[in-house]
A and B are shown apart, each in its own frame.
Chain A
């Protein structure tokens, strides 16, 4: 009798775990759909602009980047923090980051964060990362555990925030405040 009860309990736990995995998976899918929607909108907004190319004259690249950022901002004038990273998605991203930060060897990851240049960067959706400040690096262990993004978008960590950034326009697409725990 006892083994049967134990088996039922194990199955119940497994089912609950599977439901949670499915729910997490659905949240990630929603996130990636929103990111892909951004990529489509971006593509449309940039129609007619020359794609950055290594044949461009120096200096024109900077102007093109600014032009791209402006076009994207015009295409999503109402965009605000949380549009892509809704509270539910933000919670899931924080959970994934937490897994990395609590995994074996996470001390190396935390050490990498401690070594980041501390440059205050105000975060605002559609604003461009200032090119005079050092670009925050993204530790590979975190990138491995976060959902894979299309090449037009990347993750950056600024202070404790996780930022979604347009890789060519350099603009902030959305961000998750307090994605990283308070430093010990």
Chain B
């Protein structure tokens, strides 16, 4: 997709209130999901577990969106539960805000953030089955949920093994700490990038999703891989983005979630704010092959 970062200042209307929203990049005015019969449809949220009204507002928009775009599951980018992890906390920060989705049979697949308790991996609605990192397949897409808090050699070996045997047409990795980010507060995790990116390149991972930064950012393709950062489904760090040429699109003045549809050779996405405004959308073609990056990946792995 041809995207040139530019500054626009659209005025978003939500009910009677006019909200000033700063977004970076051009919106795709004619975008719509294909809603193909055999496609894989899901939502993503990140840094969501605050238990406050803003998290609830995003959740309400997810329910609204699902009536038009029936997704079957949600990927959680970590920081799923901020603060305490008591019975009441889990209820207030997860069960209640996403109650309508849970009742409708929507499944959640979490990864761990730095604010999460590791024992969330045993929390049944997060579908982690007691594991810090795990993979699962939906249709032609295989998802790899990683624990970027503790990327030990055992986890890296596991990822290499699983990616090597994966026969899925699309491979999507998600974990909390972004490898690329233009937010000021944390920025990219360079050490993690140094260790992980060569593996992602070597095994032709198509897309990488992360949170941690409390903004939304879609990046230009990096070494053949699509990167999304979405860490503002509950928390928000206003005006924290400093777009660079890497930035394809950014949104840092409100909360958001994203919808994805993966068909045979296209990934369609739409990012929606807590007010229901579409802040980013488009389609990305499946990368033809990783051959172009194999040499570089091997070099980095050495």
Contact = CB atoms under 8 A, between A and B. Distances in A.
Interface of A: 52-56, 58-59, 61-62, 65, 105, 107-109, 111-112, 115, 117, 131-132, 134-141, 143-144, 148, 154, 167-168, 170
B154 interface: yes
A156 to B, nearest CB: 8
A58 B117 contact: no
A58 B190 contact: no
B100 interface: no
B114 A112 contact: no
Contacts of B223: none
A36 B136 CA distance: 32
Given A134-B114, A137-B150, A148-B153, A108 B191 contact: yes
Contacts of A144: 153, 195
B31 interface: no
A138 B150 contact: yes
Looking at A52, A134, A140, which has the most chain B CB atoms within 10 Å of its CB?
A140
A137 B122 contact: no
Contacts, number: 108
B149 A135 contact: yes
A138 B194 contact: no
Describe A's contact surface by its main secondary structure.
Answer: loop
A134 B176 CA distance: 13
B13 interface: no
A37 to B, nearest CB: 21
A62 B189 contact: no
B116 interface: yes
Interface in B103-127: 114-119, 121-124
Contacts of B153: 143-144, 148
A170 B148 CA distance: 18
Given A134-B115, A140-B156, A112 B190 contact: yes
Contacts of A135: 114-116, 118, 149
Given A52-B119, A143-B153, A58 B148 contact: no
B84 interface: yes
A112 B191 contact: yes
Contacts of B117: 62, 65, 131, 170
Contact of A58 (B123, B152, B187): B123
A39 to B, nearest CB: 16
A131 B114 CA distance: 10
A107 B194 CA distance: 11
